[in-house]
Amino acid sequence: MLNILILAAGKGTRMHSDLPKVLHPVAGKPMLAHVIETAKQLSPSKILVVYGFGGDAVPDQFRHENIHWVQQAEQLGTGHAVMQALPFLDPEAKTLIMLGDVPLISVQTCQELLKNQAKLTLLTFAKANPSGYGRIVRNAQDEVVAIVEHKDASEEQRQINEINTGIMAVDNHALSEWLKNLGNDNAQGEYYLTDIVGMASQQGIAVGGVLAANEPEITGINSKSDLASIERCYQQQQAAQLLQQGVTLSDPARIDIRGKLSVGRDVHIDVGCVFEGEVHLADGVRIGPYCVIRNASIGVGTAIAAFTHIDDAEIGKQAKIGPYARLRPGTVLQDETHVGNFVELKNAQVDVGSKINHLSYVGDTTVGKQVNIGAGTITCNYDGVNKFRTVIGDNAFIGSDSQLIAPVTIGAGATIGAGSTISKDAPAGELTVARGRQVTVSGWKRPEKIKK
């Protein structure tokens, strides 16, 4: 049986922020969320989180998670934090103690730690420059016998480059006994969890040590500088995965993924793009520079030009979007649609082959097939209190600088003369002009292209 205990009570003084440290975001979500996600993948019988600074702000962020929250009203050290959680741990279980400010710890590393059969196993790391860190002292049998702080280490011990990460797996029966004897007779007056290593050694109990392979996995965040560094590490990992999947990145150092990005074959992503939430890019999608895409699905062969913002939208195959387009929630574009520069769509459904290429706002609108909406057209969907819908039929042509005052329907094949303000339904197949007054020209025929 496995319990997981995440220590997340610290204030993070060096963050210089009123926000609890573990709520500062890494890749768009609280660093604690990353630790919780890793914990869940280990399939524990329960997850406990010790919180403190910020009061209920931390548990409120995760109220939908199945987590047992334990408050540490006074932050008196890591040992004290574990003491608060001890009554809620299963006596027969092993507990993996994780840190809420170490967001990049991997499932694989945790599994390696849990494989060790010792009653107490520490996750350690061989650091090139261990100055300032507690050293791991091992005996001839390669068992951990002590953690010696840098200031207390001898010259010989200071040559050791294996350091303590603070992450450990411990048998709950043994943990309970060790915590009873934990003291705070030190300069800080705090209870240090690491003191249990010495207790185990004195009792002749072997202490295991598992070396972590990658430094970012065990790096804690204590400052905004640390936060920025870990953010870059995370993004580099994401970029490396995309490259392995065959994505072409113009510059792997200039991409931000703040959620889940899934990709097909032959996808190209230019510099400065940000992906948030769940985004899917199908085969052959090309994303231009400096686009922001959130919770979107983009179909095969679609091209998104520079500086386009897409939020909670669906785009079909072979579409052309941007530059400087904005697709807001509820937008659905079918295949071969065109949405051009400085066009904003909101809750608009646009059918196959339709074009809205310049300087338009189309909101709460159903657009049929092969419709052309001219530059400067807007759908006036809001009367100051309520929203209303515009319907534009197949093959309609909306002249430039038109206003369609909802609720209104433009019939199939209708033409709206440029500069018209349409407040009544426009009949199918006719030219409707409303410049001062609305006139329908019966029998009017749309001009045909002159063959050369």
Asked whether residue 61 is assigned to any structural domain, the reply reads yes
State whether 89 and 138 are in the same domain. Answer: yes
Tell me: is residue 134 an annotated ligand-binding position: yes
Residue 168 lies in a domain: yes
Confidence at residue 188, expressed as pLDDT on a 0 to 100 scale: 75
Residue 14 labeled ligand binder: no
> Residue 437, annotated ligand binder?
no
Domain interval for residue 401: 224-441
Structural domain contains residue 451: no
Domain finish residue from 170, 202, 218? 218
Q: Do 44 and 186 lie in a common domain?
A: yes
Which residue in this structure is represented by tokens 């994303």?
287
- Tell whether 372 is in a known binding site: yes
Is 233 found in the same domain as 200? Answer: no
Q: How far apart are CA 72 and CA 81, in angstroms?
A: 6
Report, in angstroms and rounded to the nearest whole number, the Rg of the chain calculated over CA atoms.
Answer: 31
Give the side-chain half-sphere CA count within 13 A for 57. 16
Give the span between the Cα atoms of 53 and 38, in whole angstroms.
Answer: 23
The one-character DSSP state at 114 is H
Helix, strand, or coil (residue 253): coil
Considering the domain architecture, whether residues 201 and 265 belong to the same structural domain is answered as no
Q: Is 361 annotated as a binding residue?
A: yes
Residue 149, annotated ligand binder?
yes
DSSP characters over 52-97 = -TTTTHHHHHTTTS--EEEE-SS---HHHHHHHHGGGS-TTSEEEE
Nearest to 393 by CA among 418, 374, 410: 410
Question: What string of H, E and C letters represents the secondary structure of 70-82?
Answer: EECCCCCCHHHHH
Q: Which of 166, 187, 218 is the last residue of a domain?
A: 218
Total tally of structural domains belonging to the chain:
2
In a shared domain, residues 212 and 270? no
Task: Give pLDDT tens digits for 338-397.
Answer: 999 999 999 999 999 999 999 999 999 999 999 999 999 999 999 989 999 999 999 999
- Asked if residue 449 belongs to a domain, the reply is no
174 is an annotated ligand-binding site residue: no
- Tokens 């993948």 map to which residue? 41
Residue 57: inside a domain = yes
CA distance 179 to 198: 12
Res 449: pLDDT: 82
Q: Is 164 annotated as a binding residue?
A: yes
Does one domain contain both 367 and 346? yes
Model confidence at 226, pLDDT cuts 50, 70, 90, reads very high
Q: Please report which confidence band the pLDDT of residue 23 belongs to, taking 50, 70 and 90 as the band edges.
A: very high
Q: What is the pLDDT of residue 184?
A: 84
425 is in an annotated binding site: no
* 286 and 259 inside one domain: yes
pLDDT value for 41: 98
Q: Are residues 119 and 230 in the same domain?
A: no
| Mean per-residue pLDDT, 132-155 | 86
CATH number, domain at 428?
2.160.10.10
Instruction: Report pLDDT digits (tens) over 279-332.
Output: 999 999 999 999 999 999 999 999 999 999 999 999 999 999 999 999 999 999
In Å, what is the CA distance from 314 to each residue of 268, 278, 294, 396? Answer: 19, 12, 11, 23
The H or E element that residue 148 is part of is strand 144-148
Question: Catalytic residue numbers?
Answer: 358
302 & 168 share domain: no
C-alpha dist (Å) from residue 62 to 30, 224, 284, 367, 395? 10, 23, 37, 40, 49
Answer with the one of 188, 218, 248 that is the final residue of a domain: 218
Q: What is the DSSP string of 169-198?
A: EEEHHHHHHHHHT----STT----TTHHHH
Q: List Cα–Cα distances, 72 to 20, 104, 133, in angstroms.
A: 14, 24, 25
Q: What CATH number corresponds to the domain at position 191?
A: 3.90.550.10
The answer to whether position 446 is within a domain reads no
* Residues 211 and 287 grouped into a single domain: no
248 in the same domain as 163: no
Summarised one tens digit per residue, pLDDT across range 233-268 is 999 999 999 999 999 999 999 999 999 999 999 999
**Angle between the N-to-C axes of helices 78-85 and 172-180, in degrees from 0 to 180, rounded to the nearest 10:** 120
For 268, which DSSP code?
E
304 part of a folded domain? yes
Q: Position of tokens 């419709």?
A: 371
Cβ pair 423, 405 in contact under 8 A: yes
* 84 falls within a domain: yes
* Dist CA 11 CA 73 (whole Å): 12
pTM to 2 decimals? 0.89
Q: What is the pLDDT of residues 385-444, one digit of tens each?
A: 999 999 999 999 999 999 999 999 999 999 999 999 999 999 999 999 998 778 899 999
51 and 198 in a single domain? The answer is yes
Where is average pLDDT lowest: 184-193, 219-228, 309-318? 184-193
What are the pLDDT digits (tens) for 39-82? 999 999 999 999 998 889 999 999 999 999 999 988 888 999 99
What percentage of the chain reaches a pLDDT higher than 90?
83
Q: Is the distance from CB of 60 to CB of 34 less than 8 angstroms? A: no
